Amino acid sequence: MKHSVQSYIEEIPSWDDGSTLASAPLSSMQWLVWSLATAGKFFEGLIVFMGGIALPLVAEEFSIDPTQKGLITAATLAGILVGALLLGGLADRFGRKPVFIGEMVLLLLGLLGAATSPNTTALILWLFVMGLALGADYPTAHLVISESIPAAIRGRLVLGAFSFQALGAVIGTAICAVMLSSHPELSTWRLFYILPVIPVAFVIWGRLFLPESSHWLVSKGHIDKAEKHLRKLLNRKDIQLLQLETAEEGALPRRSADWSRLFQGKQLRSTILASLPWFLQDISTYGIGIFTPVIIAAAFGAESHKHTVAGIIHNDLLGARGTALVDIGFLVGIAFAIWLSDRLGRMPLQIFGFIGCAFGLLIAAAGSLGNSNNLPVIVVGFFLFQFMTNLGPNSQTYLIAGEVFPTKVRGIGAGFAAACGKVGAVLTAFLFPSLLQTLGTDRLLPLLALISLLGALITWLYRVETKGMDLEAL
C-alpha cells in the first residue's frame, strides 16, 4: 500500500494479538540523524563561549582598541546572521544534506584560520566565517530533524538538540579553566580554536552517510529517490509513495524558493510569528549576556584593575569559572522546555516565557535602584530571566521557525527568522554597553522588560500552534 512520507514516519507497528507501541519507534538511522544534528548547536555554544573567554587574551596579545574589540565580539554574530539568511536557504535549492555537510567544512576552515591568525583583521575574518557556518546550521539542523521524525516527539527532539548549545557552553567553560590553569599564557586562546577541529572533522565524516530528506525530494518531484532515502532512514524495504503526491509535487516549478512567498497571503502571518519575537528575545538575551559578566566579576571579586599579563589571565580565569553559574538557569529552563513543548504547546510556553523574562528583569532592576547594588536580588532576577527565556522564547522561537513554513520555503523561512534574531543580537552587541553607561541599569532593565512584554503580545496576536502538526499539512 502506498503512503505519504510523513505517514510512513508516523506508522506504529502492531502485532497479531492487537498490541501496539505508544508511539512510532525511531530507527538507528533516525537516532544518528538526531545525534549529528546536535553537533552544530554544541559547537556554537562551545565556540561562542570560548570566544568571550579568549577576548581579553587576544586584546592583550594584539594590543587592540575598543573598536576592534567590538568588531571581534560582533564578527561571529554577524556571520551567523548572514549564514542563516543566505546559506540556510540553499537547503531549499540543493537539498538538506549538502548544506548540512558543507557548513561543517566551513566551520573547520574557520577554526583553523582563527587559531593561526597573525593579526586582528585575519581573526575577525575567520570569526565571521565560523559565524557563517553556525548560521547555516540554524535552519538546516532543524529541518533535518523535523523532517525525519514523528510529529508527536518533534518538539522534544528539536529542543533536545538545541539544548546542546548549553552543554557546549558548560564544556567550553571547563576547557577554558583547565587550559588557562595549565598554560597561563596569552597565546592559550589559540588552543581554544584548535581543540574542536578533530570533533568537527568526525561530524563531517558522519554526515556523509545520512540520507537526504524525503520531504524535500518529494517537493522537487524526485519520488524514486525519496523512496530510496526513506528506506534508508526507516530501515525498511516496503516503501511506496503515493502517485498522487508525485503528480502534485512533481508539477511544482523546479527553481530556487521565492523569498517573496514569505510575505504573501497567509504566509505573512507565519513569517511575523517566526521572526519578530526572535528579534525581540535576542535583544534581551544578548544584552543580559553582555551585562552579566560584570555582575559575576563583582560577585567573585575579580581584580579588574590589574593590567599585568598575570592579572589579565587571573581575571579571565575567574570569569570562566564564575560565568558557569549563569548556565544553570539555561540548563534548567531548556530541560523544562523539552518536557513541556509537546504537552502544552509552543504558544503558551513562548507567551508565558516572555512575561516571566519581564518579571526577572524588573526584579534585577529593583536590585540596582539607587547607588548601592543589591547583588543577591540582581542575581535572582538574572537567574529567573535565564530560566524563563530558555523555557519560552529562546527555545520556542527556534522550534517554531522550522515548523510554520511549507517544505518549499522551510529553509529560507527558518533562515530568515534566525537572521532576524541575530539582527537583534548584533545591534545589542554594539549598543548595549553605551546604553548601559547612558541610561544606567535601573533604566535599561525596565526597557528590556517592555521589549519582552511586546514579544508576548506579538506572539499572542499572530499565534499559530504547531504542536503535533503534520508538516505535510502545510
Dump pLDDT digits (tens) for 260-274: 788 887 889 999 999
Which of 417, 416, 419 lies closest to 427 in space, CA to CA?
Answer: 419
Amino acid, res. 424: G
Best mean pLDDT range from 66-75, 127-136, 368-377: 127-136
pLDDT bin (cut points 50, 70, 90) of residue 15 is: low
pLDDT bin (cut points 50, 70, 90) of residue 412 is: confident
Q: Mean pLDDT check: name the lowest of 73-82, 135-144, 287-296.
A: 287-296
pTM over 0.95: no
The whole-number pLDDT of residue 326 equals 61
Going from N- to C-terminal start, the domains of the chain cover 26-210+257-473
The whole-number pLDDT of residue 21 equals 60
The whole-number pLDDT of residue 244 equals 42
Best mean pLDDT range from 200-214, 223-237, 373-387: 200-214
Residue 256's alpha-carbon distances to 5, 56, 169, 219, 472, in angstroms, are: 22, 43, 36, 12, 19
The whole-number pLDDT of residue 353 equals 96
Best mean pLDDT range from 58-72, 302-316, 367-381: 58-72
- Residue 467: is its pLDDT beyond 90? no
Give the mean pLDDT of 234-243: 79
- Residue 158: is its pLDDT beyond 50? yes
Note whether 285 and 354 are within 8 A (CB): no
Note whether 346 and 467 are within 8 A (CB): yes
Q: What angle do CA 336, 339, 344 make, to 5 degrees?
A: 100
Residue 249's alpha-carbon distances to 93, 253, 260, 464, in angstroms, are: 15, 9, 20, 25
Choice between 335 and 55, residue whose per-residue pLDDT is larger: 335
Residues of the chain with pLDDT > 90: what percent? Answer: 31
Note whether 91 and 143 are within 8 A (CB): yes
Domain at 26-210+257-473: CATH architecture? Up-down Bundle (1.20)
- Residue 245: is its pLDDT beyond 50? no
pLDDT bin (cut points 50, 70, 90) of residue 304 is: very low
pLDDT bin (cut points 50, 70, 90) of residue 435 is: confident
- Residue 209: is its pLDDT beyond 50? yes
pLDDT bin (cut points 50, 70, 90) of residue 299 is: very low
Amino acid, res. 204: I
Residues of the chain with pLDDT > 70: what percent? Answer: 83
Choice between 445 and 303, residue whose per-residue pLDDT is larger: 445
Choice between 306 and 421, residue whose per-residue pLDDT is larger: 421
The whole-number pLDDT of residue 271 equals 93
Q: Mean pLDDT check: name the lowest of 18-22, 133-137, 144-148, 286-290.
A: 18-22
Give the mean pLDDT of 416-423: 87
Best mean pLDDT range from 16-30, 125-139, 161-175: 125-139
The whole-number pLDDT of residue 293 equals 55
182: left (phi over 0), alpha (psi -120 to 50) or beta: alpha
The whole-number pLDDT of residue 8 equals 85
Note whether 36 and 203 are within 8 A (CB): yes
Which of 424, 286, 446 lies closest to 358 in space, CA to CA?
Answer: 446
The whole-number pLDDT of residue 445 equals 87
Give the mean pLDDT of 136-148: 89
Choice between 435 and 21, residue whose per-residue pLDDT is larger: 435
pLDDT bin (cut points 50, 70, 90) of residue 371 is: low
DSSP string, 259-313: GGGGGSTTHHHHHHHHHHHHHHHHHHHHHHHHHHHHHHHHHTT--TT--SHHHHH
The whole-number pLDDT of residue 307 equals 56
The whole-number pLDDT of residue 312 equals 55
The whole-number pLDDT of residue 54 equals 79
Would you give the DSSP letter of residue 473? G
Q: Mean pLDDT in the chain?
A: 81
Best mean pLDDT range from 94-108, 142-156, 328-342: 94-108
- Residue 450 grid coordinates: 517592555
- Residue 311: is its pLDDT beyond 70? no
Give the mean pLDDT of 300-310: 52
Give the mean pLDDT of 419-446: 79
